[in-house]
A = this chain, B = another copy of it.
Amino acid sequence: MAEPVFKRVALIGIGLIGSSIARAAKEFGGLAGEVIANARSKNSLDRVAELGFADICELDPAKAVAGADCVILCSPVGTYAELAARIGPSLSPGAVLTDVGSTKQSVMRDVGPFVPEGVHFIPAHPIAGTEFSGPDSGFATLFQGRWTLLTPPPGTDETAIAKLRKFWEIMGAQTAVMDAAHHDRVLAIVSHLPHLIAFTICGTADDLADETRQEVMQYSASGFRDFTRIAASDPVMWRDIFLNNREAVLEMLARFTEDAQAMARAIRWGDAEYIEDKVIRSRKIRKSLIELKQA
C-alpha cells in the first residue's frame, strides 16, 4: 500500500469537522498513518475514545502535536491564539500546521506569531458543515464535492501546499488557493451575512406577540423555514466567526442594508418596476446556481 500523505495527524478539537476528518482517515486510507485526537474537555475526549475513530486520545494539546507531521486546528477560531501559544514550542520541524476555521485573516494574526521556523503554516477552510456539532455528528463523506480553500502566506513551501491539497482531495474536496483577505470578503457575503440575517430574523419573529409567534411556527413553510435551516448552527463557532471577520461582515451588512432600504422605498412609493427588476435578477442568480450544479 502507498504511503499515506501524513504519518501522524493531530486534530486539535474534535467536533463535526475534526471527527469527520478522523473518520475519513480511518475509512478511506492514504490520508494518515495515525490520528491523534485532542479536545478541550475530558468528557468529549472520552466520547471520542468510545466512538473509536482516533488512534490516540490526548488531553494536552502540546503533547498531542508532538511528533505529528500534520497538525489541524479544528476548534472555534476564537480559541486559536491561546492554543497556538501552547502548541508552538512542541511543533516538529517540517510539519504542516493548518486549520479549518471560517475566517482566515484572524488565523494569520492569531497563529502566525507562534509558528516556529521550519513549520509550514497553511490556513485552510473546508466549506462544509451540517446543523449538528460534536464528535458524534461527523461522517467520513462530509467533504465530498465541497470546496476547501487554502490561504498560505506568500512564500510558503509549495511541496507542503501540494501535500495538504492532496489530503483534502482524497477526502473528496476540490481545493483552491487564495489570499486570506479575499477569502474573508467572499465568505462574508456567501456565508457570514446569510447566517447573520438568519439569526436576526429568528429573533425578530420570536419578539412578536405570543399568539403570532405560534403562527410563525405553524406557517413557516412559506419562507421562514428556509432561513431557520441555516440558523441552527453552533453558537460559539458563529460568535467567533463574526468577531473574527468583523470588518468584512459589517461592510457586507451595510451594503445589504442599503439595498434593503432601497427596496423598502420602492415598496412605500409603489415603484413596481424596481421591485420586479430585483425579483427577476434574483431568479437569474438562482438559475446560474442551478447551471453550476451548486443548488
- Residue A191 contacts which of B223, B234, B282 (CB distance < 8 angstroms)? B223
Chain B residue nearest in CB terms to A242:
B267
Are A250 and B232 in touch, CB under 8 angstroms?
A: no
Chain B residue nearest in CB terms to A102:
B222
Q: Give complex CA distance A242, B207 in Å.
A: 22
Are A131 and B219 in touch, CB under 8 angstroms?
A: no
Chain B residue nearest in CB terms to A228:
B286
Q: Which of A258-275 contact B (CB under 8 A)?
A: 259-261, 263-264, 267-268, 270, 272, 275
Give the interface centre of A198, A217, A282 by most chain B CB atoms within 10 Å. A282
Q: Give complex CA distance A292, B224 in Å.
A: 14
Q: Give complex CA distance A282, B217 in Å.
A: 13
Interface string of A225-246 (1 = CB under 8 A from B): 1111111111110110011001
Number of copies: 2
Does any Cβ of B come within 8 Å of A160's Cβ? no
Does any Cβ of B come within 8 Å of A51's Cβ? no
Does any Cβ of B come within 8 Å of A196's Cβ? yes
- Residue A225 contacts which of B207, B222, B260, B289 (CB distance < 8 angstroms)? B289
A31 to chain B, nearest CB (A): 22
Are A224 and B189 in touch, CB under 8 angstroms?
A: yes
Q: Give complex CA distance A216, B146 in Å.
A: 14
Q: Which of A196-227 contact B (CB under 8 A)?
A: 196-208, 212, 215-227
Q: Give complex CA distance A158, B181 in Å.
A: 64
Are B242 and A275 in touch, CB under 8 angstroms?
A: yes
Are A190 and B224 in touch, CB under 8 angstroms?
A: yes
* Size bracket of the A interface: 35 or more
Are B201 and A197 in touch, CB under 8 angstroms?
A: yes
Does any Cβ of B come within 8 Å of A109's Cβ? no
Q: Is the interface of A mostly helix, strand, loop or mixed?
A: helix
Are B231 and A190 in touch, CB under 8 angstroms?
A: no
A233 to chain B, nearest CB (A): 7
Does any Cβ of B come within 8 Å of A1's Cβ? no
Does any Cβ of B come within 8 Å of A193's Cβ? yes
Q: Give complex CA distance A283, B232 in Å.
A: 4
Q: Give complex CA distance A218, B287 in Å.
A: 13
Does any Cβ of B come within 8 Å of A288's Cβ? yes
Are B219 and A187 in touch, CB under 8 angstroms?
A: yes
Does any Cβ of B come within 8 Å of A278's Cβ? yes
- CB-CB under 8 A from A288, the residues of chain B are 217
- CB-CB under 8 A from A268, the residues of chain B are 246, 250
A selection of 7 A-B contacts at a CB cut-off of 8 Å is A190-B219, A195-B223, A200-B260, A206-B281, A206-B285, A226-B226, A250-B264
Name 6 extra pairs, CB < 8 A, besides A200-B278, A235-B279: A131-B286, A186-B219, A190-B220, A217-B289, A233-B282, A243-B267
